[in-house]
Amino acid sequence: MSGKNTKHNNENIVQPKLYLVPTPIGNLDDMTFRAVKILNAVDIIFAEDTRTASFLLKHYRIEKKMFSHHKFNEHATVEQIVRHIAEGKNVALVSDAGTPGISDPGFLLVRTCIEHGIDVECLPGATAFVPAVVNSGLPCDRFVFEGFLPQKKGRLKRIEQCANEKRTMIFYESPFRLVKTLTQFAEVFGCDRRACVSREISKLYEENLRGTLQQLIAHYTDKPPRGEIVIIVAGAQDSV
């Protein structure tokens, strides 16, 4: 039958639910039409950082009640959000950039909503690791997302657990720890393991630098990086 997707054509929100709304990871033009419609339609928006979200909402002329929901208060605000939805309000969750729940607050809230029988809908949209793994030139038919490594305790153990991983591996990292991380990778995976460092994805100075771990270490030791970073590392079977 035609028209089976009409639910989303007008975005008429009937049943109260939680919407997970991806936001641009750099270029504001990456915001989808549907995401803008949803943010205009919901009653309340919860944001990882209300200051960052305010900039986005102002750009799209969206005026809504907004409250914070981040890793330091999420245990306290989850029940508040569930209560809002139970009272008949539609709630949207946005992170600073990308899709909520992917290395950002969201999982605990989604799980709690499901436990309370509340409908959850995640919109498709920006996620940094997808363009990074595709741009890397490494196999992207099978990959594993590792996200951020522990900063201290358990960090090396986590890397060692990936030593024999045959799928392409994806890591998020701070520019201040990039060289340290690449060096640890080289010590565990071998200096000749192929990798790609993507930074500033979708922004003016986007860069995708490919090479061996040894080559990448040398480059970024000489030229310290800036911006958000995704590291793509070849799996063990593709390292030769």
Q: Report the distance separating Cα 80 and Cα 58, nearest Å.
A: 25
Q: Which residue(s) pair with 210 in the sheet?
A: 196
Over 70: is that where the pLDDT of 9 sits? no
Best CA proximity match to 136, nearest among 193, 203, 178, 183: 193
Pinpoint the alpha helices (H) of the chain.
6-9, 33-41, 50-59, 74-86, 107-115, 129-135, 155-161, 178-189, 213-222
Average pLDDT over residues 150-175: 95
Q: Is the pLDDT of residue 13 over 70?
A: no
Q: What are the residue ranges spanned by the domains of the chain?
A: 6-122, 129-238
In this predicted model, what pLDDT tens digit does every residue of 29-47 receive, in sequence order? Answer: 999 999 999 999 999 999 9
Q: State residue 28's pLDDT score.
A: 92
pTM beyond 0.85: yes
CATH topology of domain 6-122: Cobalt-precorrin-4 Transmethylase; domain 1 (3.40.1010)
Closest CA to 163 of 215, 234, 211: 234
Indicate the CATH number for domain 129-238.
3.30.950.10
Digit-coded pLDDT (tens) for 49-66 = 999 999 999 999 999 999
d(CA 56, CA 63): 11
Q: Kindly tell me if the per-residue pLDDT of 154 is higher than 80.
A: yes
pLDDT score recorded for residue 14:
59
| 4 pLDDT above the threshold of 50 | no
Q: What is the DSSP letter of 98?
A: B
Residue 164: CB partners within 8 Å, gap ≥ 6?
Answer: 236
Question: What region, left, alpha or beta, does residue 127 occupy, with left being phi > 0 and alpha being psi -120 to 50 degrees?
Answer: beta
Mean pLDDT of the chain: 92
CA distances from 43 to 19, 23, 53, 94, 123 (A): 11, 18, 15, 14, 17
Per-residue pLDDT tens over the stretch 94-148: 999 999 999 999 999 999 999 999 999 999 999 999 999 999 999 999 999 999 9
